[in-house]
Amino acid sequence: MDFSLGNSLGTLFVIGARVSGLMLFAPFMSNVAIPTRIKAALAVTMTVVLYPVFAGRVQPVLSPIEWPMLLGSEVLVGVAIGIATNLVFDAAEMAGQVFSVQMGFSLVNILDPQTQVDTTVLSMFTQMMALLIFLGLDIHHWILRLIAQSFAYLPPGSATPNAAFTQQLLHIAGAVFGIGLQIAAPVLASTLVADLLLGLIGKASPQMPVLFLGPAVKGLFGLVLLGTTVRCWPDLFSGMFSNSLQMLGHTLHLAR
């Protein structure tokens, strides 16, 4: 009886380790605005729900030395899922930073409730838009289904983090810059064109106060183009969320 109880508790810890790793980095669920007790309750609830379905897939561990390695690998798998699904949010934040610098709004900072650091207004705007699209498209439901399917695809104890797995995680982290530039591309291009035109005007008419007109013109161009492209963001972000989940599938495959 004690042995059976010990196995049950061990299985709960193993499943909970992967769920806890997800909760550390998953978008929306890792938000610091959500109280820690609610996050803990959600993690425990998910663990209890997943236990009857995947308890039989947990490989038995008899050696005390194997337990830390097993729990560490499960936490790493959960962290990988969280990082991959949070990719678009990090890219949106970077795009907001590019908007702010190019449009002259980088000096106006407010406290970001998600990271507890000062960030620009446009960066907060892009993050909030990404969060609204995330909730509107029910991506959080995708993540919940994904964590459940990960136990079937990669049973607890079978994950073997290796060099290819680590390299893929670094590749996902590096993809933030490329995706962020894709989001910011229209505004970035318009402000660069504005800089070029203002430079030509300044050469043609040295008396014109280009230094004073430049920030206003770039800000106006950027805001107009940003307002025009925002309507395309739901489709754009939907494709990016799908691509991030595909990258996650490839990452989990490397850990088998």
Residue 190 confidence (pLDDT): 83
> Which residue reads 């290819």 in tokens?
164
Phi-psi region of 250 (alpha: psi -120 to 50; beta: other; left: phi over 0): alpha
Q: Which pLDDT belongs to residue 111? A: 54
Give the per-residue pLDDT at 223. 82
What is residue 57's predicted lDDT score, i.e. its pLDDT? 66
- The answer to whether 121 touches 103, Cβ cutoff 8 Å, is no
Domain extent listing, the chain:
2-254
Q: What's the pLDDT score for residue 113?
A: 56
Query: Mean pLDDT per segment of 10 residues, for the chain of length 256 residues?
Result: 57 83 81 80 86 70 71 84 85 86 71 60 84 85 83 77 80 85 86 80 73 75 83 88 83 77
pLDDT on residue 100: 82
pLDDT at 3: 43
Look at residue 116 in the predicted model and tell me its pLDDT: 57
pLDDT for the residue numbered 122: 81
- The backbone torsions φ and ψ at residue 248, rounded to the nearest 5 degrees and listed phi first, read -65, -40
pLDDT recorded at residue 117: 58
